[in-house]
Structures are given as C-alpha cells and as structure tokens.
Amino acid sequence: QENEIKLLTAEIERLKNFGCLGVSPSLEGLRDENAKLKYRLNFLQKSLQEERSKTVKSMININSCLQEIFGAAIQAAYPELENPPLVVTPSQQPKFGDYQCNSAMAISQILLKTKEQKVIPREIADKIAKNIPANECIEKVEIAGPGFINVHLRKDFVSKQLSSLLMNGVQPPAIGKRKKVVVDFSSPNIAKEMHVGHLRSTIIGESMSRLFEFAGYDVLRLNHLGDWGTQFGMLIAHLQDKFPDYLTVSPPIGDLQAFYKESKRRFDTEEEFKKRAYQCVVLLQSKNPDFIKAWELICDVSRKEFQKIYKCLDITLTERGESFYHEMMKDIVKEFEDKGFVQVDDGRKIVFVPGFPVPLTIMKSDGGYTYDTSDLAALKHRLCEEKGDILIYVVDSGQSVHLQTVFAAGQMIGWYDPKVTRVAHAAFGVVLGEDKKKFKTRSGDTVRLIDLLEEGLKRAMDKLKDKERDKVLTAEELKAAQTSVAFGCIKYADLSHNRLNDYVFSFDKMLDDRGNTAAYLLYAFTRIRAIARLANIDEQMLRKAAKEEVLILDHEKEWKLGKCILRFPEILQKILEDLLLHTLCDYLYELATTFTEFYDNCYCVEKDRQSGE
C-alpha cells in the first residue's frame, strides 16, 4: 500500500504537469483520470491509517464511514465537481432505513448554477447509488421521494461492532496527534460569594474538560479568579481597621460577603477611608510585604468557601487568577505599541480591532491596567507559553463582544492563526426562576450557590424518603444516594438544555423521574445494573461469549438498541466540534428509553421454575 501511494502521488503530479503544459488532447479525459487516481490515493491512505489505528481497538464512527463511502461514490459519479455537498444523517423513521444520504438535491442545484445542466435529483441519486464502492457496512440502498438515498446497514456488520465493543470496552475513536486543550471556566471573584450565575460556567466547563479528556486530549482546566484590582484597596483598609494585628493573628473573617459589603459602604460614604483605600492599592501593586500578606489572607478565606462548592460538585481546577498575569501586562502594552496598534485618547492607551466598534483599553490614563489588558495577557500566555491547540472560554453570553474583540486582537498581532489554533467562546444564557425572570431570592438578592446546593440535598432526601428508600438502605447508602440525586439532577438539568438559551431552574422538574432528567437516567442505570446482578454474569463471561459467539439481532427492538449504542462515536464527534453538550444528554435519554423498550419486549433474565435459578 505504501509503495502504491508513492506511485500514485507521482502519477498525479505527472498529470498535473501535462495539464499545465496543455499537452493532453482531452482535458475531460485528463480530469477523469486525475479524479480516479486521487480517489484511489485517498482510499489507500485512509485504509492504511485505519489498519494502523485498528490496534487501538476504538469504536467506529458509522456516520464517518458512510460519509467516506458516499464521498467516493459522488466523486466517481461527478468527478468534475469540486467539494460536492456531502450530507449523511441517521434516519428519523425505521421504514426509511438506518441512515440517509441527502446530497442529490444540493448537487442538482450546483449543476444548474455552474454547468447550466438541469438534472432531476432522483437521477443524481441513482448515479451516486450505482457508484457506491464495495464496503462492509451497507446491506442495500433505496432511492425515495425527490432523491433521498436510504441506507440499510448489514446486520453482521452491526453485530461485529457490538461484539468488538464488548471485548474492548468503550474506546472513543482515535484523535491523531494528542492536542492540548485549555478550558477557562468558573472564575468567581475573591471576597464575593459564588452565586447561581457561576453555576452554569462551573458545570459546563467541568463537563467539557471531561469530554476532551475522555476523547484523549491533554486538558488544562483554569480558574481565572478575579483576585486583583482596585477593590482590594478598600478590603485591605477595612481589614487593618477591624483586625489591626492581622499580621500576627489570623483574622476570624466568618462572613466574607458581609465584610465586603461593610468595606464598600465605607468606601462610598467615608472620604478619608476612600483615600486610604487608594493608597492601599498602590502599596499592594508595588508588592509591599504587609499588604501582600493582607491580600493573601483575604484570598485564602475566599478560596476555602469556593472549595466547599467544588467538592460538592466534584470539580477539578487549576487556579490562575488575574494576579498571575500582572507582571506580563507592561510587555503586552509595549508589544501593541511597537507594532503601531496603539492610539492615545484622553490619556488612555486604546487599540482598535478591525470589525469591532468599541476599542480595547490597554492602559488607563492613571497608568493602571484593565480587564482588557489582563485578558490579552492570559490569551497570549495560553497560546505561547502553554502551547494550547484549542482554547475554550466558558463565559456567559454577555461577554461575547468583549471576548471576540480580545481574540481578534490576538489574531491581528500574530499570536495565532485560526486555521491552526481553535479559540472559542462557549457562551451560555442566564438562569431564570420559575417566574421566567432572573433567578433571585424573595428579597431580590442573587441566590447564593451554597444555599442552592443545600436546598437540593434537602429536596433529594425528601424524594428518597417518599419512595421509602430510607427503609431499605443503610445510613451510608442513603447519604450516597442523596448526594448522587441532588448534585446529579442539578448538573444534568443545566447540561440537558442548549447552553446558548436561558434556562428555568426548577427543583420539581429536576427531581421528576419521568422525562429527560437525571432521576430517570439514574433509575434506568440502576435497572440495568440490577439485571446484571440477577443474571450473575460478569464482564469476563461477556467478553468470552463475545469472542466465541455471533451476536444475532433478530428482534426489532434488539436491532434498534444495537444501532443506538453504536451511534455514540457520532455524538462524541459532534459535541467535540460544536461544544453543545445537550446533544449528549438527548442521546443518553434516547439510549435509556430504547433500552427500556428492549427490556419490555425481550426477556434478559428468566427464572427456572424447577430450580429457582
């Protein structure tokens, strides 16, 4: 294969030269010859790649296989078309087969526009179908309606994939070179409590990190804490007044939120205090050790509070707040100045980015830096020092224009090429109360995240007691069930909604065991585990059976379940591309309901009436 690839590459190059010299008597013939050689070359390279990756024993993405097959068929049928449209999707109804290729209609439009040829889509579909290369997955194709190609999979192919899955476990498709992904999420502010607004970023960011790790990427999860800035002046001044011996005795700040509010009230009403607060900022930024100690004390109190929440939700993060980038900011300003991007406006240093009306302010008139400066420094560090191949910012939709401007500035100055490095803003909507307004407490305050989690635990325990689980579970099991249900339901309710939309927070809906909820999935999962326990068959026995026996998919519900299981790599591929995790939730719900249908129609375990086994 490797030798043939070398020969084909040389032959394509020779034909290309002929074309350039205008030697060939038939340009059409030359194009056809070239297209066939390119197809053969592509096919060989792919199969060689597949042979090499087979040792990984990963799951096959059936949709990708079908796209390759139909891509080859379209190329053979219409070699003159460059990048013809390729659309393969799972069928919505079993009567239309298992998958559909819907390219014929779009090709018909292209032929009309570019070649002025009027060809009906059914004819195009027929020509594509006749050019389908030999393959192991398609049983038959049928042309339906205006030009849909309905694809029926071979049962022995599906059976073989399921046996392989049983023997090798759930291995995601190989990703090629191991890339580095940097995910920026959660990012609360020091001295302020985490509120319901931080919930979405924290849950979505953690889930995206797990997704990329599962797919084989090297993931760095960053918590871009708001741990630097002018607010620390008033906090340190208030700390000095309230706990004058803070350098020797650790101050017992119980409620940091109240401490923050007190210092803010004094800052707004006491002129003398305000002046001192500004002096404290200057001394902190000049790294005075006493002021650094005060800053660290305040950060530590906050950190302990954040950690309680991260522990509840099983979140792993590397802290890298704004202070981490402080020393880099002067170099960022200099770099933009040296490249001629800086304009001075009323003493401020600003940068206009083409396509964005609002400039970035990289230095204030008093010489201080801004969020724009620290975000540019963070972007550069992640690209140039961390060598991130993919950067994902899980930040609310309100920051969209700001982040797009920062990304475009990074591109403009040459830190990255978007064709090589992916920098994405995974935006999300706000959390609403059941009244469809912004989620607040009765008194109109923002809902504290810790209160929300505690309420979830209480509701989960009530639900478990309603179902009389407390009578059959030990105290330890009941506690484990309570946390699984409470935090699982809160996470899943968020993830199962399209992150781009606002979503209504409702404990009643979350804890309902009907519909697409964590409670239903936990129930379905428990039922599957119970069957496995009752059958008394372990994984080793299953692997042995998968090796020695052929899996026969006779019953329609069994066939449906088998195909549903094998769609997992397609779902994985889709969410790695668009970062919309609700697609995975929809798939899991479909898998659970398809399993329930199968379970209701096909006996998995039956009791022997004589022996009771």
Of 121-130, 178-187, 521-530, the one with minimum mean pLDDT is 521-530
Tell me if 144 sits within 8 A of 96, measured CB to CB.
yes
CA 174 to chain centroid, in Å, comes to: 17
**pLDDT value at position 518?**
94
**pLDDT value at position 510?**
87
What is the CATH T-level fold of the domain 180-226+321-428, as seen in this structure?
Answer: Rossmann fold (3.40.50)
Say which CATH architecture domain 449-601 belongs to.
Orthogonal Bundle (1.10)
Of 16-20, 288-292, 361-365, the one with minimum mean pLDDT is 16-20
Give me the mean pLDDT over the 59-68 stretch: 94
Percentage of the chain beyond pLDDT 90 is 67
Task: Name the pLDDT band for 86 (thresholds 50, 70, 90).
Answer: very high
What is the CATH T-level fold of the domain 56-153, as seen in this structure?
Answer: Gyrase A; domain 2 (3.30.1360)
Report the SS3 class of residue 439: coil
CA 100 to chain centroid, in Å, comes to: 27
Task: Name the pLDDT band for 227 (thresholds 50, 70, 90).
Answer: very high
What is the average pLDDT value for the chain, to the nearest integer?
Answer: 89
**C-alpha closest to that of 74 among 133, 151, 118, 137:** 133
Domain with CATH 3.40.50.620 in the chain: 180-226+321-428
Q: Do you know the residue count of the chain? A: 613
Q: What's the CA gap between 351 and 409, in Å, rounded? A: 8
User: Residue 24 pLDDT more than 50?
Assistant: no
Of 134-143, 329-338, 381-390, 434-443, the one with minimum mean pLDDT is 434-443
Amino acid sitting at position 386: E
Q: What's the CA gap between 529 and 365, in Å, rounded? A: 65
**pLDDT value at position 298?**
92
User: Residue 46 pLDDT more than 70?
Assistant: no
Of 218-222, 373-377, 433-437, the one with minimum mean pLDDT is 433-437
Alpha-carbon dihedral 503, 508, 510, 514, rounded to 10 degrees = -120
Q: In this structure, which long-range contacts are made by residues 456-463, counting pairs with CB atoms below 8 Å and at least 24 apart in sequence?
A: 456/486, 456/487, 456/489, 456/490, 456/507, 457/482, 457/483, 457/486, 459/486, 459/507, 459/511, 460/485, 460/486, 460/489, 460/511, 463/511, 463/519
Domain with CATH 3.30.1360.70 in the chain: 56-153
User: Residue 273 pLDDT more than 90?
Assistant: yes
pLDDT digits (tens, 9 = 90+) for 402-415: 999 999 999 999 99
**pLDDT value at position 36?**
62
pLDDT digits (tens, 9 = 90+) for 475-516: 999 999 999 999 999 999 999 999 999 989 988 898 888 899
Phi, psi of 568 (to 5 degrees): -50, -45
Task: Name the pLDDT band for 366 (thresholds 50, 70, 90).
Answer: confident
**pLDDT value at position 54?**
47
Task: Name the pLDDT band for 384 (thresholds 50, 70, 90).
Answer: very high
Tell me if 429 sits within 8 A of 502, measured CB to CB.
yes
**pLDDT value at position 195?**
86
Q: What is the 3-state secondary structure (H, E, C) of 170-217?
A: CCCCCCCCCCEEEEECCCCECCCCCEHHHHHHHHHHHHHHHHHHHCCC
Specify the DSSP element, H or E, that contains 313: helix 289-313
User: Residue 16 pLDDT more than 80?
Assistant: no
Handedness of CA 490, 491, 496, 502 (dihedral sign): positive
Domain with CATH 1.10.730 in the chain: 449-601
Task: Name the pLDDT band for 25 (thresholds 50, 70, 90).
Answer: very low
Amino acid sitting at position 141: V
**pLDDT value at position 436?**
85
Alpha-carbon dihedral 252, 257, 261, 263, rounded to 10 degrees = 40
Q: What's the CA gap between 60 and 67, in Å, rounded? A: 13
44 or 180, which is more confident? 180
**pLDDT value at position 30?**
54
What does the DSSP assignment read for 101-135?
A: E--HHHHHHHHHHHS-----HHHHHHHHHHTPPP-
**pLDDT value at position 22?**
41
Q: What's the CA gap between 490 and 441, in Å, rounded? A: 18
